[in-house]
Amino acid sequence: MKILINGIGGPTPRSITRALRWYSRYRQYEFIGTDINPYARDLYDSTLYNKTYLVPPAGHPDYWPEIERIVEAHKIEMALVQPELEVLAWAKRAEESALPCKALLPNYTLAQQLTDKGIMTNILKDTGWVPPSVIIEPDSNNFQEAVETLGYPFWIRATSGSSGLGSLKVENEAALRNWIHINPEVKQFIGSQYLPGRNLACKLLYFEGKLLRTACAERVNYIMSKVAPSGITGNTSFGRLLNEPDLVDMASQVMDRLFAYAEAPKHGFFTVDFKEDGDGKLYVTEVNVRHVAFSVCFAAGGATFAEDTVRLIDKDDSFDQKYWMYTFEKDLIFLRDVDAQPLLLREDQLLQTV
The amino acid occupying position 67 is I
Q: Is residue 354 pLDDT above 60, yes or no? A: no
Averaged pLDDT, 174-201: 91
Q: Is residue 233 pLDDT above 70, yes or no? A: no
Q: Kindly report the CA angle at 221 between 220 and 222, in degrees rounded to 5? A: 135
| Residue-level pLDDT at 140 | 75
Q: Is residue 228 pLDDT above 70, yes or no? A: no
CA distance 220 to 250: 21
Domain ranges of the chain: 2-104, 133-193, 199-349
User: Which own/partner pairs from 60-68 qualify as long-range (CB within 8 Å, at least 24 positions apart)?
Assistant: 63/89, 64/93, 64/100, 67/4, 67/34, 67/100, 68/100
Q: What is the mean pLDDT of the chain?
A: 93
CA distance 325 to 246: 11
Is residue 54 within 8 Å of residue 35, measured between CB atoms?
Answer: yes
Fold classification of 199-349 (topology level): D-amino Acid Aminotransferase; Chain A, domain 1 (3.30.470)
Same fold, 2-104 and 133-193: no
Averaged pLDDT, 36-59: 97
Q: How many CB atoms lie within 10 A of CB 334?
A: 22
- Dump strand ranges (E) for 55-128: 78-80, 102-103
Give me the phi and psi of 271, to 5 degrees please: -125, 115
Tens of pLDDT, residues 244-263? 999 999 999 999 999 999 99
Q: In percent, how much of the chain has pLDDT > 90?
A: 81
Least trusted range by pLDDT, from 122-126, 130-134, 234-238: 234-238
State the pLDDT confidence band at 226, using cuts at 50, 70 and 90: low
Tens of pLDDT, residues 146-170? 888 999 999 998 898 765 677 889 9
Which residues, listed in sequence order, are joined to residue 203 by a DSSP beta bridge?
215, 271
CATH number assigned to the domain covering 133-193 = 3.30.1490.20
Fold classification of 2-104 (topology level): Rossmann fold (3.40.50)
Q: Is residue 237 pLDDT above 50, yes or no? A: yes
Q: Is residue 50 pLDDT above 80, yes or no? A: yes
Q: Is residue 353 pLDDT above 70, yes or no? A: no
| Residue-level pLDDT at 352 | 59
Report which of 296, 275, 297 is spatially closest to residue 284, judged by C-alpha positions: 275
* CA distances for 336 relative to 239, 304, 333, angstroms: 9, 18, 10
CA distance 220 to 236: 7
CA distance 310 to 240: 25
Four-residue CA torsion sign, 146, 147, 149, 152: positive
| Residue-level pLDDT at 230 | 66
Tens of pLDDT, residues 84-123? 999 999 999 999 999 999 999 999 999 999 999 999 999 9
Tens of pLDDT, residues 281-335? 999 999 999 998 999 999 999 999 999 999 999 999 999 999 999 999 999 999 9
CA distance 25 to 167: 39
Which residues, listed in sequence order, are joined to residue 31 by a DSSP beta bridge?
3
| Residue-level pLDDT at 339 | 79
